[in-house]
Structure 1
Amino acid sequence: MKYSILIAFLVSFGSIVCGFLLDVAYAQKLIGFGVLGLVVFVFPLFSYYRWKDKDIKDYMLTKENLDKMRENQKN
């Protein structure tokens, strides 16, 4: 999964760079497809990969978590 995300990132980023550097008629399309690849494929896959084993309740501001934060600040 990690390598497929890296490959998709490199392809998308390479498309953006080629769109800026090459003087061809479809340069704007290269930039657009590169940005689309980042937004539609790379970012969601990366987010899923990084959050798949985490519990969302650990990151929410609930009463229990606020109490834990206050306890940690006192120490």
Structure 2
Amino acid sequence: MKYLIIILTIFVFTSIFLGLILDVPYSQKLIGFGVMGLFLIVFPLFSYHRWKDKNPKDYMLTKENLDKMRENQKDESKY
């Protein structure tokens, strides 16, 4: 998955770069497809890859997590 994301990112940025550099009638389409590929394919794949083994509740501000944060701040302030 990691290598697929890297390859797709290279293709997308190459498409955008070539669209900016080349003076061809379809250069705006190259830029557009590159941007669409980046935001509709590469970014969701990257997000899924980074979050697939994580628990979203660990990152939500619930009462329990706020209490843990307060306890950690008290422990750190002692030193």
- TM bucket, shorter chain: over 0.9
1:1-29 deviations in whole A, cap 9, x for unaligned? 00000011000010000000011111100
- How many residues are aligned here? 75
What TM-score does the superposition give when structure 1 sets the normalisation length? 0.98
The answer as to 2:20 corresponding to 1:12 is: no
Q: Distance in 2 between matches of 1:37 and 1:8?
A: 8
What TM-score does the superposition give when structure 2 sets the normalisation length? 0.93
Specify every segment of 5 or more residues in structure 2 that has no aligned partner in the other structure, as ranges.
none
RMSD over aligned Cα atoms: 0.4
Specify every segment of 5 or more residues in structure 1 that has no aligned partner in the other structure, as ranges.
none
Larger radius of gyration: 2
Q: Distance in 2 between matches of 1:59 and 1:30?
A: 38
Percent identity (aligned): 71
Query: Which consecutive aligned stretches of 4+ in structure 1 deviate over 6 angstroms post-superposition?
Result: none
Name the counterpart of 1:61.
Answer: 61
